[in-house]
Amino acid sequence: MDNLRFDGRVVIVTGAGAGLGKAYALLFAERGASVVVNDLGGSRSGDGSSSKAADAVVAEIRAKGGKAVPNYDSVVDGDKLVQTALDNFGRIDIVVNNAGILRDKSFARISESDWNLVHDVHLKGAFKVTQAAWPHFRKQNYGRVIVTSSNSGLYGNFGQANYSAAKLGLVGLCNTMAIEGRKNNINCNVIVPTAASRLTEDILPPDFFAELKPELIAPVVVWLCHENCEENGSIIESAAGWATKCHLVRGSGILLRHKITDMVSPENVRDVWSKLTDMSQASRLNSIEEASSTLLGVIDEIKSGPQTKNENISVFDYT
Ligand code: NAI
């Protein structure tokens, strides 16, 4: 079996002083990459800073014969992280946007500063670091980007409205970066991890926590960043030595009017609600073009008259 190697590749892992980021940095270095170990070294809620976390991981990588340098800037200063890569290794190939904090509060109690800081670290940080690397990716016709979402973003979680919003924002960011990067061999994917770390130590039950080693997720992220991996624009969930792909899906829908001259009333909507929300025939759409083209099909169908009339609709005829 050919080993997957990263010799000559330069990777920035943000928030690599602990938890998942540390596991990613160690595995990339073990596979020959030169690693910028970024970590602000603050508290779980984003207060303070320290060089200790990044320094410890760099020391560990070097002790094992790997190549790494520390960077202590916040991800919101993304250009400084990329400059560290260029100054020390002369290039940048891979950005793993992993840095994160929590400021959990019920929705009613979220302050504007909690909202802003959570969005700054997760969403703006990923934007700034990746955008600073982007021109280099385009010039060399190669780049790999990971953004880190969460099941809290995909499904919601009590007390995490600020975090959920930022985490689903990262999916949107990745969706479009994947489209714009494709022609330059820049692949962007989302990782949705569940792992034992200081972010989850008081959230996950102890038995479950013990089985969720970050090292079990690192190989998934490392593969997604390899030059042989063609995955692009996907959401990959991983935990406990398991991984899968996640999709948004759309139901098959229901016509709310019979003729192109008909209007739609709230009562029409109410009367077909169970069919409108039926997901038994749900499917995945691959692009915004596909979403638009099905709408064109809907208009054609209304113009030519539906094959089977929906008896639930009592259409108001405005003609
Ligand atoms: P962690 O707290 O162990 O690691 C996050 C690291 O990011 C810390 O070392 C911290 O100092 C650093 N950091 C925070 N703000 C920073 C900034 N502005 N600039 C640079 N570094 C900064 O947490 P964990 O669990 O390893 O989380 C990693 C990522 O995975 C986060 O984005 C988190 O939201 C996400 N995640 C984690 C899950 C889990 O189960 N552990 C679940 C879903 C998502």
Total domains, the chain: 2
Q: Which atom of ligand 1 is nearest to the CA of 204?
A: 40
CA distance 28 to 282: 38
- Say if 19 falls within a structural domain: yes
Is residue 124 located within the same domain as residue 234?
yes
Q: What is the pLDDT of residue 318?
A: 38
- Say if 1 falls within a structural domain: no
Pocket of ligand 1 (CB under 6 A): 14-15, 17-21, 38-42, 44, 46, 53, 74-75, 98-101, 121, 125, 148, 150, 193-195, 197-200
Digitized pLDDT (tens) for each residue of the chain, 319 residues in all? 789 999 999 999 999 999 999 999 999 999 999 999 999 999 999 999 999 999 999 999 999 999 999 999 999 999 999 999 999 999 999 999 999 999 999 999 999 999 999 999 999 999 999 999 999 999 999 999 999 999 999 999 999 999 999 999 999 999 999 999 999 999 999 999 999 999 998 888 888 898 999 999 999 999 999 999 999 999 999 999 999 999 999 999 999 999 999 999 999 999 999 999 999 999 999 999 999 998 998 999 999 875 555 555 544 443 3
Q: What is the pLDDT of residue 316?
A: 43
- Say if 34 falls within a structural domain: yes
Is residue 231 located within the same domain as residue 302?
no
Residue to substitute in 37, 57, 98 for testing ligand 1 pocket (most ligand atoms within 8 angstroms of CB): 98
CA distance 205 to 98: 23
Is residue 273 located within the same domain as residue 230?
no
- Say if 122 falls within a structural domain: yes
Is residue 86 located within the same domain as residue 52?
yes
- Say if 4 falls within a structural domain: no
Is residue 293 located within the same domain as residue 218?
no
Is residue 304 located within the same domain as residue 253?
yes
CA distance 317 to 145: 52
Q: Which atom of ligand 1 is nearest to the CA of 97?
A: 32
Q: Which atom of ligand 1 is nearest to the CA of 75?
A: 19
Query: Which residues have a catalytic role annotated?
Result: 163
Residues 6+ apart with CB under 8 A from 259: 302, 305, 315, 317
First vs last C-alpha separation in the chain: 70
Q: What is the pLDDT of residue 311?
A: 56
Is residue 318 located within the same domain as residue 222?
no
Last residue in a domain, options 199, 220, 246: 246
Is residue 92 located within the same domain as residue 69?
yes
Last residue in a domain, options 188, 222, 246: 246
Q: What is the pLDDT of residue 315?
A: 47
Is residue 216 located within the same domain as residue 270?
no
Could you tell me if 81 and 35 are in contact, meaning their C-beta atoms sit under 8 angstroms apart? no
The residue range of the domain holding 282 is: 247-319
Is residue 239 located within the same domain as residue 259?
no
Last residue in a domain, options 246, 280, 311: 246
What CATH number is given to the structural domain containing 264?
1.10.287.4290
What CATH number is given to the structural domain containing 237?
3.40.50.720
What does the chain come to in residues? 319
Classify 42 as helix, strand or coil. coil
- Say if 137 falls within a structural domain: yes
Phi-psi bin for 8: left (phi > 0), alpha (psi -120 to 50), beta? left
- What is the value of ipTM here, to two decimals? 0.99
- Say if 65 falls within a structural domain: yes
- Say if 306 falls within a structural domain: yes
Is residue 242 located within the same domain as residue 293?
no
Could you tell me if 242 and 51 are in contact, meaning their C-beta atoms sit under 8 angstroms apart? no
Is residue 59 located within the same domain as residue 98?
yes
